[in-house]
Amino acid sequence: MRKALIAANWKMYKTPAQAKEFVATFLPLVTGHTRDEIVLCPSATSLSAVVDAVAGSNVRVGGQNIHTADEGAFTGENSAVMLVALGVSHIIIGHSERRQYFGETDELVNQKTHQALKHGLKPIVCVGELLAEREGGKTQEVLLRQTEIAFKGITAEQAANIVIAYEPVWAIGTGKTATPEMAAEAHLVIRTEVARLLGREVADNIRILYGGSVKPDNATALLNQPEIDGALVGGASLDAVSFSKIVRY
């Protein structure tokens, strides 16, 4: 049985004060909720505030991006070492917005995944096709390529700490959700590829989250699919009540 993981990706929203306000409202709504793992991923400037605010609770904290180096002359970047020092446990890697707007390649996603694991951060590795790729019948090919390269050099033991997020780019922030069947089909493609790369046992245990316009009113249908092991939520995670409803799908 794979324990579901429900993660909030706040993207570039919320000041530290707003982040603390969210946590103050959110924690009482999920107290004692042990069925799913809960992770909040604020922007780098709010990580410290959120780590402090959730201390002692069932909520963990993730970053949204790291550099591939431990330290160095890389203006504007943050390292895995720095995030770990703050008390961060998870890291989103290769989100489609990083791929689209910041030029992240499959190879860079692989390097960042290795870097995260080296420092004990749990990577949430994002994959997903563009609208043109889906319409061009290339979904499977894209998912296979992204998954294979992301896992290059990763051992079965390391894979136990990796979570994959399937986020079809056309469903992100658009209000268009993949149907539960479409998402399950994509998840099966990804899981089969993980089995090919690392064996059946790793594939059976790895969690694959769905992301893309997950809302309180569609969360249950998506998360009840046996292939879907959680959600990575953008817009609907910015409001504490709305996100708590998704957590309690």
Please report, as ranges, the residues that interact with ligand 13P according to CB under 6 A. 9, 95, 167, 172-173, 211-214, 232-236
Exactly one of 97, 129, 167, 193 is catalytic; name it. 167
**CA of 126: how far to CAs of 19, 51, 121, 160, 247, in Å?**
24, 23, 15, 16, 20
**Distance (Å, rounded) from C-alpha 21 to C-alpha 173?**
23
Shortest distance (Å) from residue 232 CB to ligand 13P: 4
Q: Which is nearer to ligand 13P, 202 or 235 (CB)?
A: 235
Q: Which is nearer to ligand 13P, 62 or 198 (CB)?
A: 62
* Extended beta strands in 65-173, E state: 90-93, 122-127, 163-166
Which of the following is catalytic: 95, 104, 133, 187?
A: 95
As measured in angstroms, the least distance from the Cβ of 175 to ligand 13P is: 8
Is residue 95 annotated as a catalytic residue, yes or no? yes
| Residues β-bridged to residue 166 | 127, 210
Q: How far is the CB of 213 from ligand 13P (least distance, A)?
A: 4
Instruction: Provide the 3-class DSSP secondary structure of residue 101.
Output: helix
CB-nearer residue toward ligand 13P: 184 or 202: 184
* Contact assessment for residue 154 and residue 114, using Cβ atoms and an 8 Å cutoff: yes
Long-range contacts of 150-153 (CB under 8 A, 24+ apart): 150/94, 150/106, 150/109, 150/110, 150/113, 150/125, 151/110, 151/113, 151/194, 151/197, 151/198, 152/110, 153/110, 153/114
Nearer to ligand 13P, 202 or 216 (CB): 216
Shortest Å, Cβ 75 to ligand 13P: 26
- DSSP element (H, E) containing 5: strand 5-9
**Count of beta carbons in the 10 Å neighbourhood of residue 144:** 16
Q: How far is the CB of 214 from ligand 13P (least distance, A)?
A: 5
Residue 167 appears among annotated catalytic residues:
yes
Q: Is 90 helix (H, G, I), strand (E, B) or coil?
A: strand
CB nearer to ligand 13P: pick between 149 and 238: 238
Which residue number has the CB closest to ligand 13P?
A: 234
Where in the sequence numbering do the catalytic residues fall? Answer: 95, 167
